[in-house]
Amino acid sequence: MIKHRNDDTPAPSYDCTQRISRGYKINGQWYFELRGGGQKGPFDNEEAMLAELNSFIHFHELMNQQN
């Protein structure tokens, strides 16, 4: 049994089903992180980065289905 003090606040709960964004912007250029390390980019805008990220994810989902 875990004991709590009266002034303790409950730990936040996290939604594990929600995908964490891997995109970020540096010096006006957009990139996304790869799960195994590394990055893809640069992209001129967020939309181009997201399009490539979605293509990248879709490609790997198809590859996993074939194995």
Q: What is the pLDDT of residue 44?
A: 98
pTM of the complete model beyond 0.85: no
20 token code pair: 């964490």
β-strands 29-33, 23-26: how paired?
antiparallel
As a whole number of angstroms, the distance between CA 33 and CA 3 comes to: 39
Full pLDDT tens readout for the chain, 67 residues:
567 677 766 665 545 444 557 899 999 999 999 988 899 999 999 999 999 999 999 998 999 999 7
Q: What is the pLDDT of residue 51?
A: 95
Find where tokens 């606040």 sit.
9
- Judge whether 31 and 42 are in contact, CB under 8 Å: yes
Find where tokens 């006006």 sit.
28
